[in-house]
Every structure is written in structure tokens, then in C-alpha cells.
């Protein structure tokens, strides 16, 4: 599962760079948020890991409010 999660994170890294740049945040900080909000396969073996975009957006807004 870690390998699959790492692949999703890798695929989303370009988007993470765009989000970081747009919000004037370090890429590493945004990447940690993406890592925290990446969910595994549904029953453990079906589907692909995915980023919960809604939760990621909320976390990003919270982070920006602290800045």
C-alpha cells in the first residue's frame, strides 16, 4: 500500500507545486498536506489510492489562516 500511496503522491506533485506557488507556501509543506489526505484502496485491495480533495482544501485554508 505504501508504494501505491507514494505513486499517487508522485502523480499529484505537479499539482502540489502549483498550489504551493499560488499560495506562497513551501512545496514541502503542501506535500505533507497531500500525504496526510491521501487515502488507501477502498477495502484494502480495490481501486487506487486517492487524495481527499475536500479535506485537503480545508486543511490548506486552515494553514493559510494561521499565516
**Confidence (pTM):** 0.66
pLDDT, tens digit, for every residue of 28-66? 999 899 889 988 877 767 778 888 999 999 999 999 998
Residue 8: what pLDDT? 64
Helix-strand-coil split of the chain, %, nearest 5? 65, 5, 25
The Cβ-side half-sphere exposure at 60, using a 13 Å CA radius, reads: 21
On the question of pLDDT at 16 being above 90, the answer is: no
Domain with 14 in it: 2-66
Domain count, the chain: 1
Helix (H, G, I), strand (E, B) or coil at 51: strand
Amino acid at each position: 500500500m505504501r508504494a501505491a500511496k507514494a505513486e499517487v503522491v508522485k502523480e499529484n506533485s505537479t499539482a502540489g507545486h502549483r498550489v504551493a506557488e499560488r499560495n506562497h507556501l513551501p512545496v514541502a509543506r503542501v506535500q505533507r498536506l497531500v500525504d496526510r489526505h491521501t487515502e488507501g484502496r477502498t477495502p484494502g485491495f480495490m481501486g487506487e489510492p486517492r487524495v481527499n480533495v475536500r479535506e485537503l482544501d480545508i486543511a490548506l485554508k486552515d494553514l493559510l489562516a494561521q499565516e
